Amino acid sequence: MAFAMIHEPQITPLGAGADLTAGKYLIVKAGTVDGTVVVATATSERLIGVLQTNAATSATDGTESVEVCTGGVCLVRAGGTVTRGLAQMFSTGSKVEDAGTNVNTIGIAQQSGVSGDLVSILVTPGGTTGTG
């Protein structure tokens, strides 16, 4: 089923702070150097966006530019169950899944999916879920 983009994505060019040659559609966090990103690795991390391009080289010093969706509707890879309308959090492999409680979130699912699917989410970095 096709999904129409209803919100233009906000794309921010940032430097690769790690090898991102296979990072397209994964969740990223800020790298250790200003202006760089690396893939997220835990639910406790501050998530800033979704990688929309692969890096052309494996440079890790920020000189390789990548495009990061930092707002609007963008595609992301599902790592678990994704339910339209629910908040999304980090899942194994820097992917998304329905958010649990007391976790940082990356956005709201705009369509449902299962592990391995590409799904649309409204990217809203900096969110957290409460205790319910």
Q: What is the pLDDT of residues 5-42, one digit of tens each?
A: 556 899 999 999 999 999 999 999 999 999 999 999 99
pLDDT tens profile 64-123: 999 999 999 999 999 999 999 999 999 999 999 999 988 999 999 999 999 999 999 999
Tokens (6 digits) for 18? 């790690």
Looking at residue 115, the DSSP 8-state letter turns out to be T
pLDDT tens profile 84-99: 999 999 999 999 999 9
Q: Tell me, what's the pLDDT at 132?
A: 52
Q: Give CA–CA dist 100/79, Å, rounded.
A: 14
Looking at residue 106, the DSSP 8-state letter turns out to be E
Bigger pLDDT: 3 vs 119: 119
DSSP for 26-95, written as a single string: -EEEE-SSTTEEEE---TTS-EEEEE-S--SS---SS-SEEEEEEEEEEEEEBSS-B-TTSEEEEETTTE
Q: Tell me, what's the pLDDT at 8?
A: 83
Are 100 and 90 spatial neighbours (Cβ–Cβ below 8 Å)?
no
| Cα-only R_g, the chain | 14
Nearest CA among 72, 85, 63 for reference residue 9: 72
Mean pLDDT across the chain, nearest whole number? 92
Are 37 and 1 spatial neighbours (Cβ–Cβ below 8 Å)?
no
| Whole-prediction pTM | 0.90
- For residues 94-118, one letter each, b for 16 or more C-beta atoms within 10 angstroms of the residue's C-beta and e for the rest, the string is bbbbbbeeebbbbbbbbbebeeeee
Q: Tell me, what's the pLDDT at 130?
A: 77
Tokens (6 digits) for 131? 């205790």
Q: Tell me, what's the pLDDT at 131?
A: 62
